Structure 1
């Protein structure tokens, strides 16, 4: 049985040989055929050189090299399109996705023909900055409260999928992609294997706190219209509140002859309403930008170089 291994890479020249070595040990234990598909996502180091050398040594190693950095989501989509195996897995090259878990994942699929996917989820975040762990947990809580799909807390992109599920994911060809949400949205029966957090074997992560925060916001917007509802509810509530305040001011002036004064309070109200309007416009603009990008029909990625199969 062919297993396609999809590996996005961005400035990972040090980690690629270590990843390949570890995966080959697992392949020999599993006695399966692996097809490696590395995606060079516009790396600035020697990643492409390492991939060329590795592809020349092993015919089962293939690579795509993007014309620039299109992001991990584009790399995952490109890898899924290139994969030809009956089973497909998505893995990080830094070995934070333990390769040996593939044996357990494959065993679970073999034991249950109705199971479509075996995913992984981290049950600890040892080694991560506390603030990142806090916001990660907060993201999953918010996402599962407001989204139509359930994203498992700690779920990784690392999973082993049968071909029908992969084909279903490829049917979702939208430009704005959030794979964790797409994996859940397509359905298919999935079970998760827990594991402890693993540190990178080499190199530095390209994910900063702000890039992860931006990625989380993208995920919420892609799979929920709740921010739009919040803006509408807030606007309606503010309108009712201002109407009640207006009635109160008129009655107070007519009955008690007490003209309303208070320049500071007026400025505070104006600033509050102005900020509320700007926030609402920002939410609308975020959704409108998504529609704008989808209607452009731009390709998700562009390939500059590709290995021969």
Structure 2
């Protein structure tokens, strides 16, 4: 009996990429001795993505679409696909719909899975086509994650991976409000294997990850896997308190030695603004954790499905 493998593809405004992606996927998986299901999860697209997927699904039996009720974000859309596919799949492959994740790597992912690995993930090699800032900020992100989180991340880790059914079952039970899937998959453990790959150029459209979204994603990842920022706030407060005491002693010594008081309102105002800003930063760190608790306490689902042909 053929093993069943599902390919989950979160999609947001990818109408211009679908035909090219499917052609590349079909060319790759046709020769493999497995039964494949290709599941597109539309994450509230504003273009013709849904209508195009419905048209293709009516013509190709192994293509399925899942239409979410609105835009819930890439990570939630990916979870929706895994949740649906887990019970009917021996393994699940996740990849993006912009062709930057090469379908030609799928046979290698499956080969490592057949060797006994439960998770086969990919690591993106540095892309020369990206700007210096983009590559540098990516390295800084992973460096910061490894410094502040108990879970270690390899630079370039992507959401292009294969997970075994038992891993998918465990992941599906997670009810976290703010998902950071590459961290969760790392956290669950099991036998994991990494494969390096060179990302393809985006076929069409623009990247959905703006600088603002990347920063938010980084903060989300750090606060999801570590309470170290809270400890950092404590040590920062202690350090600045020690600095304030030292400054006070220097001030007293200077006044006694030279016989007059140091004057200057500018230094006073600067100090007040500095410590005021520091207080806001610390309160912000605490507020993020309280906010996550607040949102988690509501118990809302990660996504809502509006329509689907998945069986």
The TM-score range, normalised by the shorter chain, is over 0.9
Name the counterpart of 1:280: 282
Name the counterpart of 2:164: 162
Q: Is 1:96 equivalent to 2:104 in the alignment?
A: no
How far residue 124 of structure 1 moved from its aligned partner, in angstroms, is 2.1
Q: Which moves more between the two structures, 254-263 or 21-30?
A: 254-263
How far residue 262 of structure 1 moved from its aligned partner, in angstroms, is 2.4
Name the counterpart of 2:69: 67
How far residue 254 of structure 1 moved from its aligned partner, in angstroms, is 6.0
Checking the alignment, whether the CA contact within 8 Å between 2:44 and 2:72 is kept in structure 1 is yes
Aligned equivalents of 2:210 and 2:249: distance in 1? 50
TM-score, reference length from structure 2: 0.94
Q: Is 1:135 equivalent to 2:140 in the alignment?
A: no
Aligned equivalents of 1:228 and 1:56: distance in 2? 52
Aligned residue for 2:31, secondary structure, equals helix
Name the counterpart of 2:112: 108
Aligned equivalents of 2:257 and 2:98: distance in 1? 74
Q: 2:13 aligns with which of 8, 11, 14?
A: 11
How far residue 285 of structure 1 moved from its aligned partner, in angstroms, is 1.4
Aligned residue for 2:212, secondary structure, equals helix
Q: 5+ residue gaps in structure 2?
A: none
Aligned residue for 1:277, secondary structure, equals helix
What whole-Å deviation, never above 9, does each CA across 1:212-270 have from its counterpart, x for those lacking one? 22211211121122221221111111112222333444455567643343222211211
Aligned residue for 2:179, secondary structure, equals coil
Name the counterpart of 1:86: 90
Name the counterpart of 1:267: 269
Aligned equivalents of 2:9 and 2:35: distance in 1? 16
Q: 5+ residue gaps in structure 1?
A: none
Q: 2:234 aligns with which of 218, 232, 243?
A: 232
Name the counterpart of 1:144: 146
Equivalent pairs counted in the alignment come to 307
Aligned residue for 2:103, secondary structure, equals coil
Checking the alignment, whether the CA contact within 8 Å between 1:126 and 1:197 is kept in structure 2 is no
- C-alpha change, 1:87 and 1:308, in structure 2 (3 Å) is closer
Aligned residue for 2:163, secondary structure, equals strand
What whole-Å deviation, never above 9, does each CA across 1:7-55 have from its counterpart, x for those lacking one? 0000011111211121111121112111111101000010000111111
Aligned equivalents of 1:151 and 1:138: distance in 2? 12
Name the counterpart of 2:22: 20
Aligned equivalents of 1:194 and 1:75: distance in 2? 25
Name the counterpart of 1:291: 293
What whole-Å deviation, never above 9, does each CA across 1:154-197 have from its counterpart, x for those lacking one? 11111111111111212222011111111111111111111112
